[in-house]
Each structure stands twice: as C-alpha cells, then as structure tokens.
Structure 1
Amino acid sequence: MKHSEPYLAAVEIVRKLRDAGFQALWAGGCVRDLLLQKEPKDYDVATNALPEEVRTLFGKRRTLAVGASFGVIIVRGHQPDCDVEIATFRSEGPYLDGRRPEHVKFTTAEEDAQRRDFTINGMFFDPINDAIFDYVGGKADLNQHIIRAIGNPLERMQEDKLRLLRAIRFAATLHFQLEETTRLAVQAMADQINVVSPERIADELRKMLVHPARSQAIALVQETGLLKQVLPELTPLWESAENQDLWLHTLDRLKLVNTHNFETAFATLLLDLPAAGPDQRLNEIYEICKRLRFSNHSLNLVHWLVQQRNSLEHAPDMKLSRLKRLLAHEDCPHLFELIAADLSSQKQPLDDLEFCRQYRDHTPREVLNPPPLISGNDLIDLGIKSGPQFKHLLTQVQDAQLEELIHTQDEAFALLNQILQK
C-alpha cells in the first residue's frame, strides 16, 4: 500500500524517537481517522521524551518550541504538509480560565489519555508494530458511532469550554450520536461558551459550516442551547412561533447549499436573520462578523452575498451593464451557490439563475468584463478635476461600453463630450 508523505514522515519521527530509547506513539485525531479509514489531515506524536530531549534529538533548526511549557514541540518536515507535533505524555493541573491548564506534569501514556477530550480522540497507535493502545474505550465508541467525553463530562468541558462546540462538530460531521451524559453536560454549560475567544469559536463554526453535514451541526448547536449564546441574533427564529417556519427553512437551505466555502455557508445561515428591514439586517451581519473577528475579506464577502440575495431576479430583462457587472464579480460563483440553495429551499424555479450561469459560461471574458475604454488619467488630461463627478463620468462611459453601444476609445471620448455638453 502506498502511503502519503505526511504518513511516512510521521513514521520516521516515531522510529527516530524509538531508536533513541524513548516511547513514541501516534495520538489523538490521526488515530481516530485511520480507524475510520480516512487520510488524517496531520499526525501528532506522543512520547515520554521531554521537550528539550526532542529538540536535541531533531535539532534546534528543525524544531519549533510552540508550547514547550506544555510539552509540545513541532518538528518541521521536509515538505510544508509534513510538520509533526510531538507532545510529551502529560497530566494537567486545574483549568482556571476554561482554556488552558495552570500547570502540567509529565507522565505516562495511560495518564495522558485521561486528560483528552473524547474517547474517540484518546487512543494511541504504534505505526511500527501496527498496534492500538486504548485506555478509554475509544475503539468501542468508534464502532458504535458515539461521542463520549472521557471521564466526567462536566469536568472535561470545564477544562476547555471549546469542547462544548467540538462535541457537536464531531457528532455532526462523523454522523455519530452524542452520548447522553455528554449531551447533558453540553446543555448545562452552554451559557459558558463565551469565555472562549471569538477566534476559537469562529474556527469551530468554520469547521462545521464547510462540512456537508452543516445543517445537522447547526441544528444540534441550536438544540443544545449553544447557538443562542454564539449567535443570539438568530434566537427569534426558533423562540417565536411566527418565525419557526423560517428556522426550518434556514436548516433546509443549509442542507441544500452545495459549497466548500465558509462565507457562503455562513451567509446562507444568516439570510433570514430577524431585522426591521434589509439595511438593518446588513448592519447586524456586519456586527456579527466583527464580533467573531472575521478577516475583512470574510466580512465583506458575507455582507455582499446577503446583500445580493435577490440580485439575479428577472435577469433576462436586466440592463446589460448591471448583469455583466454582477456576473464578472470574482465571487459570483459563491452567489450562484447561495441563490440556488435559497430558491430550491422555497421550491422556486431556477430559470433566472440558469440563464445567468449560461450567460456567464458562454460569454467571453473580454465581453463580460472588458478593459475600460477611458481612465481617470484621461479625464485629468481633459482638465476635469477629481471629485464625485469623476466616478460618475467613468461609470456612464463604462455602462455604454458594457451595453455594447460603444466599442472604441474614440467613441468613448465622443460620448464623454456629449455628457459634458449636457
């Protein structure tokens, strides 16, 4: 069987640690994924070697001490996707901030397993001898499709409250069931999720929403009380009897949106955000994205997608200049995905959308988005001073170009003279 480069790199790291007299095993998510016969995204190694011993063995230039105080060293691979995180077996002191332990104690693999979040993530694998080490019942839960916290669920969630959302994500994306006491712990502690940084919460939402099981994930986040804390603006959709159909419609739309793009999925979730009007909705979406610390790119894309929800209606009758500008937009494919899901969830025809797809696919790029025939410099050369009129003049000339009323620079200047004379 042919193995990937990251797999081989992770095997070599285990072998090198073993040859130096240390214990070394793969740990956590990569073991879960291998047992599910999935290719792991990355590989983590757990060892009894101390952080300084790891750095000495692999060399200071090849290692990064990203979390040495917690026993974590990254060993750089020979390729970008071959980096491996090496963590010393540890037990952890109390989590006073709901994020990280006050101190750690280096220990054994069995004790190390007890500090991990869920049983399916608490197993170890020996890639040299092809052996599983399972001290927490992870393999049985994996076979029975169960997400179960290791030990006392309330204690596990108390240690790192992001686990409240992680429990939901694993259940939804793996199509597993939340074990009852684990589910009750999530519900009991839902109102504490906001002690977690907005960036970490947004990252969990991202992982849920880029997955095809996004609708199941959001439904479970809502049922456990977490969505009310993370996106309180949506609460009227399920708490108000008159809006409940909109909430079911939102879940249907999430199920139907065919995308790998987080911003498209997030916009799909927020399309029916309760608000006094479209402008108010857009303002609230802006505030939500800021609160979750989205990048400017993500914020602007979510905002634009919601704003353009109905922009393709009656597309065959639309002015060519407006249609071409929309279809030439770099994020137009994401808009198609959102509108297709929105219309399908309402059992509305897709004729206008299909017209736009065909037009975009069969119109040469130089016709859809031609280089402007005149520029701002041309206006300056004509003695026109920069100001609000500047953009208006350029837009009028470009509209005529997109409407295919003018085709050359001479025609553009002639039109400009007509506009100026008026």
Structure 2
Amino acid sequence: MPKRLINKIKHLLSANHGALTRREIPRDKHHFQEEDIGRNVLMVLDGLTKAGYEAYLVGGSVRDGLIGLHPKDFDVATSAHPEDIKRVFQRNCRLIGRRFRLAHVRFGREIIEVATFRANHSKADEEDEHLSAQSEHGMLLRDNVFGSLDEDAERRDFTANALYYRHTDGAIIDFVSGYEDIQNRTLRLIGDPEQRYREDPVRMLRAVRFASKLDFEIEPATAAPIRSLADLLELIPPARLFEEVLKLFLGGSAQTVWPLMLKYDLAQWLFPLSTPEVNHAQGMQAMIDLALRNTDVRLAQNKPVTPAFLFAVLLWGPLQLEWSKIIESGLHPVPALQKAIQRVTSKQAQHTSIPKRFGLPMREIWELQSRLSSRTIKRCQSLVQHPRFRAAYDLLLLREEAGEIEAGLGQWWTDYQKASESERTKMCEALSGTHKPRRKRRYKSRRNPNTPGNT
C-alpha cells in the first residue's frame, strides 16, 4: 500500500477516534482580562483579522490570565501561512525556524511570535514529507504541516496550553477541556502520553516545570511514562537542554522543581553528577536547596540572578570529589583544581552545555573559594574588587549554611565589606597570629670574581 495512502488512513482513524468538541466560553463567563494584553499584541491580532485571517492568543498567556497571573509572553496562532504574515507586516516581520517555521513581528525591542495553525504530522502527503519528519525514536524533526484551528488544538502539548482567546468578542475557545483542567489545577497531556513524549522528550521537563510553577497536579496517565522515557533526553542537543534548564530554574519555582526532577528521574539526564544517588559530598543537596530557594526569593524581588552561580552550586559537590581524587594521586592542590574543573565541566557539557559567557565566571567563583580564606591586607583589597567576588562570597555563605565548612569565615567577610578602610586594615592585622607577614630575606653581596682584588 502506498505510504501516502497509509498516512491518510492513520489521520482519518486518529481524527475519528479522538473527535474534538468545540466549546466557546463567552467573556462574562471567564476571568481573563484583556487589559493585560499589550498594545503591540493587539496590533498584531487586529492586523491579521483585518487582512481576513483568523487570529487568537494561545498558550501560556491565556492559561496564566485565567489563574490570576499577569501574562508576560504572548503567542499568536493564526490561519495565515508564514508568507502571508510576512505580507501583512512587511518589514516588521521576519520568518524563522526550520523544524518549526514561524514569524517574529518586531516592534522596537518587543517581538511577538506568530505561528500558523498546525495539523498532525501524519496528515502530510508523500510529496509533502519534507514538511514533517520523525526520527527512529519517534521524535519530531520537522513540524510544518499546516491545518485548521481544531487540528492545531489537538497537536498542542497540554490541555491548559490549548485555549484560544478571540479578541474580537473576548470569547475563549476550548477543544480539549482545558478550561476545566485549569479550574481543577490539573496538568494533562493531549493524546497518548508516551507518543507525545517520544515526539518531543522536552515535554517531560515542561510537565514538571508547569506543575511546579502553576502548582498543578500532573494527571496520573500523564505522569506514568516519564520515568521509563526519561532517557530520551539523551537525544536532545545539550544546547537546547541548557535553555530548558534556564526555564526550569529561573521561572520563580526552582525550589519545588528540583524535587520533581529527582522524583521522575529527570535530573540525572541534565545533571548526572549532582543527584543524591551519585554525589555524596558533604552538604551537597542542602546547598542546592538553599541556592534554589534564594534564587526564587531574588526573582520575586526583581533582583538579578546569573546562571553561572546556579551551575557553580550544582557542580560544586562533583568538583570537590574530583579535586580530592586528583590531590590523592599526588598533584599539588592548585593544578589539581584546574584539572578537576576541566574534567567536571567536560562531563557536564555532554548533557547540558554551559556557554562560555557563564562557564568562565563559574570557574572564577570556584577558584576564589580558597583565596577567601587567605586574608592579608593586600589580598583582601584585591578580592573585594574582583568582578566575581560577590558571587564567590554568596557561595561561601551557602557552604557554611549547608554545613560543608565551619561557620565564621562568611561572617568575617560580611563585616569586612561593611567596615571602613582603617577598620579593614585592623581586621587583617588581627589575623597576623595565623597569617604572619613574610620576613625579607637578606642576601650577602657577592663580589664579581672578575673585578680587581678577587685574585
């Protein structure tokens, strides 16, 4: 039987088996506030509608608005194809992506992402197979089969992300009972969970991220295959996993997402050296918990957070174990540290890459730890001027709080930062009992043997 005919039969069977029921929830029956929609987003919706196309807000912005959060990122779904979107917005629009082709409409620094309605990849005809492709493991490599609104809803990941807001009358369109799942705070995959995870293993990370961020329960059938399929994350490029790590830990719920990652055996595929089963360094897991809690607090206070510090904490325990092994082999501690850093970062990069802009600061944070304990006047003056001093100091405090090292050094540095110049000098001089200044060596003058008199 021709492959084209097989694909059509598959599509018809799946469509008949999981027929969707369209439901419209009018403006006065839901709590999504149109006032939260940015002016530029409305311009995109109006522009597409006036050009004769369907256009809706979809995904996280609708979901967050319904549970009382203020949406930040707005995605638009439309019946217009990418080239049609380009014609509507012309120079403001840029088409991107190969795996998933979509449009970016730019307003100054703000970018509105606009995607064409997709259909199930099995709908692709034989001659259109370049639009959709899967790996031998079932992972989608390309997903550019365009379809209708109901087909687009069916191929989205979670029911809570498959609600469409129509700005012309304020109605929300629901094909998959996503509205009820949001009310019940339930995270449910659309379709067969195993198949959906195989199509894109990153959905497993999205499941724990959304459950943590939104305080949703993962529906049992959605949760069931995660542990057995977690190894599929090995197929995801390390660079993409780095982006997912940022979403996991910089979304304001890092402290609760890490336990979920451990529970579903996902952490070992992102940070294999940092899980409790592998790493038994003193205070390791306590440090991670404290760091993630502090990250959530800083984000809630609109304070900056750097991924370099998070990676420095997550890999500090593995670094200590590797460093100790190398020192035991007979190498001096300083070159041993450099060798340990190289080994740990190389192993980590095989799973989750660390871009150089974060990897270099991470190394400096580690290297400063030993220097913080050597407190001469000149060294202290130099250390507080170091661009990575504050992050290194924060790591020192975490190490003390987690019980890895004795308390005291962190408080000393806390007092030092608050002290005046003269007080700082006295603090360092008070340590002279343990840090004596070097005595100058006296050298006897040697007379040149070739000068007169040395015969």
TM-score using structure 1 length: 0.76
Aligned to 1:298: 358
Say yes or no: does 1:257 pair with 2:294: yes
Contact 1:266/1:302 (8 A) holds in 2: yes
In 1, Cα distance between equivalents of 2:34 and 2:159: 29
* 1:105 Cα deviation after fit: 3.0
In 2, Cα distance between equivalents of 1:281 and 1:169: 32
Contact 1:92/1:104 (8 A) holds in 2: no
* 1:298 Cα deviation after fit: 0.8
Q: What amino acid maps onto 2:157 in structure 1?
A: D
Say yes or no: does 1:286 pair with 2:331: no
Q: What amino acid maps onto 1:223 in structure 2?
A: K
Relative distance call for 1:208 and 1:152 in structure 2 (3 A) is same
Relative distance call for 1:239 and 1:31 in structure 2 (3 A) is same
Identify which of 358, 362, 377 aligns with 1:320: 377
Identify which of 283, 299, 321 aligns with 1:275: 321
* 1:355 Cα deviation after fit: 3.4
Aligned with 2:73: secondary structure?
Answer: coil
* 1:70 Cα deviation after fit: 4.6
Relative distance call for 1:20 and 1:69 in structure 2 (3 A) is farther
Say yes or no: does 1:355 pair with 2:422: no
Aligned with 1:357: secondary structure?
Answer: helix
Aligned to 1:386: none
Q: What amino acid maps onto 2:323 in structure 1?
A: G
* 1:348 Cα deviation after fit: 7.2
Say yes or no: does 1:118 pair with 2:158: yes
Aligned with 2:176: secondary structure?
Answer: coil
Count of aligned pairs: 363
* 1:302 Cα deviation after fit: 1.8
Identify which of 212, 223, 248 aligns with 2:263: 223
Aligned to 1:411: none
In 1, Cα distance between equivalents of 2:72 and 2:258: 23
Higher radius of gyration, 1 or 2? 2
In 2, Cα distance between equivalents of 1:353 and 1:210: 26
Relative distance call for 1:48 and 1:215 in structure 2 (3 A) is same
Say yes or no: does 1:340 pair with 2:397: yes
Q: CA RMSD in A?
A: 3.4
In 2, Cα distance between equivalents of 1:347 and 1:176: 34
Say yes or no: does 1:197 pair with 2:197: no
Contact 2:364/2:388 (8 A) holds in 1: no
Aligned with 2:397: secondary structure?
Answer: helix
Q: Which has the higher contact order (CA 8 A, sep 6+)?
A: 2
Relative distance call for 1:360 and 1:128 in structure 2 (3 A) is farther
Runs of 5+ unmatched residues, structure 2: 1-32, 123-132, 299-304, 325-336, 426-436, 447-455
Contact 1:252/1:345 (8 A) holds in 2: no
Contact 1:215/1:252 (8 A) holds in 2: yes
Q: What amino acid maps onto 1:110 in structure 2?
A: D
In 2, Cα distance between equivalents of 1:135 and 1:244: 50
Say yes or no: does 1:90 pair with 2:118: yes
Say yes or no: does 1:66 pair with 2:105: no
Runs of 5+ unmatched residues, structure 1: 369-404, 406-417
Say yes or no: does 1:51 pair with 2:82: yes
* 1:270 Cα deviation after fit: 1.7
TM-score using structure 2 length: 0.70
Identify which of 277, 281, 291 aligns with 1:238: 277
In 2, Cα distance between equivalents of 1:340 and 1:13: 48
- Percentage identity across paired residues of the two chains: 24
- Matched ranges for 1:6-85 at <5 A: 7-59=38-90, 61-67=91-97, 70=100, 72-77=102-107, 79-81=108-110, 83-85=111-113
Moved more, 198-207 or 216-225: 216-225
Aligned with 1:64: secondary structure?
Answer: strand
Aligned to 1:152: 192
Higher helix share: 1
1:364-421 Cα deviation digits (max 9, x unpaired): 8xx99xxxxxxxxxxxxxxxxxxxxxxxxxxxxxxxxxxxx9xxxxxxxxxxxx99x9
In 2, Cα distance between equivalents of 1:212 and 1:343: 24
Contact 2:79/2:116 (8 A) holds in 1: yes
Q: What amino acid maps onto 1:352 in structure 2?
A: L
Q: What amino acid maps onto 2:358 in structure 1?
A: S
